[in-house]
Amino acid sequence: MDVYVKVTKWGRHTLLAVCDSDILGKTFRKDGVVFEVKEEFYNGYKTSIEEALALIEQTTIVNLCGRNIVERAVKKGYVHPEAVYEICGVLHAQIIRMI
């Protein structure tokens, strides 16, 4: 499974946005919550989950969206399982490193 990755740098911070390739551009709705997986936020380039996980080490803010990438980040210890949000079966997690 491939993912879309977008890296944005400003000042001393680097934002990594990663989403599973099968949900890019989709919108999910549940109980009044609308969750959009916007192309302008996530679509930088397509790569492997392994490459995306390696990028986590180099970033200060991480936004992960999709069952595959989030579950792998949990297995690697980057995300605590209780910090994962789910909407319509789509997992979402964020990581913030204080520097």
Query: What residues does each domain of the chain span?
Result: 2-96
What is the rounded CA–CA span in Å between residue 59 and residue 36? 23
Could you count the other beta carbons within 10 Å of the beta carbon of residue 19? 29
What is the rounded CA–CA span in Å between residue 85 and residue 72? 15
* CB distance 79 to 44 below 8 Å: no
What is the rounded CA–CA span in Å between residue 79 and residue 82? 8
pLDDT digits (tens, 9 = 90+) for 44-80: 999 999 999 999 999 999 999 999 999 999 999 999 9
Please state the pTM of the whole predicted model: 0.93
User: Which residue matches tokens 């949000």?
Assistant: 85
Which one is the CATH code of 2-96: 3.40.50.720, 3.40.50.510, 1.25.40.10, 3.30.1860.10? 3.30.1860.10
